[in-house]
Amino acid sequence: MAPISICGLTKQYGNVRAVNNLNLDVIQGEILGFLGLNGAGKTTTIRILLDLLRPSSGNAFILGHDCQSDGLLARLNIGYLPGEMGIYSDLTGREVLDLLAGLNGRAVKVSRRRDLQERLEFPESDLRRRLREYSTGMKRKLGLIQAFQSDPTLLILDEPTEGLDPLMQESFYKLLVDVKQRGRTVFMSSHVLSEVDRVCDRIALIRKGELVLLSGIEELRKLAARPVRVLFAEDVPIAAGLPPGNEVVETGPRAWNLKVEGPLGPLLRSIATLPVRDIEIAEAKLEDVILRYYRDGAE
């Protein structure tokens, strides 16, 4: 049973389709990055999963429960972090955690909440303060605590590191590793591509409401061009006539900077007769592939 299963999901506002025939299955125990530019349909999709919006057509299921006809059971095992904590500002942090735990209907262990507080450096004194006194980072940390506190089977996180400082981002990444090791599933949207590269197993990228890319991180990285620098012991001609998939970035008499897609064998064979002193090969950047899909949608 897939933690999330989306089948032919469409949401239309007049003549505008925010989501168009979206099909997506999330695998149990994975961290799936849900990507797209602003307005691509990410938030609309998440709101349909939470039954905050009703689709024009299609269905969405969480752990086998229809998100619309069986919404209470669908949401029972979810930990949700919204993009912005829209809640009464006169409540204290503790009151917010207790309120949301009560709405969720799942027991929260005191030890679990305290562990989250320690990991996110959120002391008891901050829980006694009212939300109107919170900074953006404090609200985000409180939001993470409430999402994780019931140890849910499925986490739906909308831009989880927005407003967190680098140290808290590291704490969050370690928290993701822990929940994944316990078999939990994470569905998270993010604009931070280095973050996606680091923590996600797969990505689903939507553009203008349609799924245009679904791939494992390692498979996707193979599509990216690797920066390659070839150093020579003596002057050589300017790079020319290189095999397909090899792009010249810059050349000098004793150094070539290239971008290489695919295997390196053809390049190595083409320079075998030259006085090569060294070859420096950098890791391919996932961002290069993802940005290519973003740019295609902007055209």
CA distances from 15 to 18, 36, 42 (A): 10, 21, 19
62 within 8 A of 16, measured Cβ to Cβ: no
pLDDT for res 299: 43
Task: Classify each residue of 92-112 as buried b or exposed e, where b means 16 or more C-beta atoms within 10 Å of its C-beta.
Answer: ebebbbbebbeebeeebeeee
Q: Enumerate domains of the chain plus CATH numbers.
A: 4-218 (3.40.50.300), 225-283 (3.30.70)
Radius of gyration of the chain (CA): 24
pLDDT for res 83: 84
CB-side exposure of 106: number of CA atoms within 13 Å? Answer: 19
Token pair listed for 90 = 């006169």
pTM more than 0.85:
no
Within 10 angstroms of residue 232's Cβ, the number of other Cβ atoms is 17
CA distances from 203 to 30, 191, 210, 216, 286 (A): 10, 12, 14, 6, 11
Sequence letter at residue 36: G
Instruction: Determine if residue 280 is left, alpha or beta; phi over 0 gives left, psi from -120 to 50 gives alpha, anything else beta.
Output: beta
Going residue by residue through the chain, which has 299 residues, state the pLDDT in tens, using 9 for 90 and above: 799 999 999 999 988 899 999 999 999 999 999 998 888 899 999 999 999 999 999 999 999 999 999 988 888 889 999 988 777 889 999 999 998 888 777 778 889 999 999 999 999 999 999 999 999 999 999 999 999 999 999 999 999 999 899 999 999 999 999 999 999 999 999 888 888 888 999 999 999 899 999 999 888 877 778 889 999 999 998 877 888 888 889 988 999 999 888 788 999 999 998 999 999 988 777 777 777 777 765 44
Sequence letter at residue 64: G
pLDDT for res 237: 85
160 within 8 A of 179, measured Cβ to Cβ: no
SS3 helix, strand, coil % of the chain, rounded to 5? 35, 30, 35
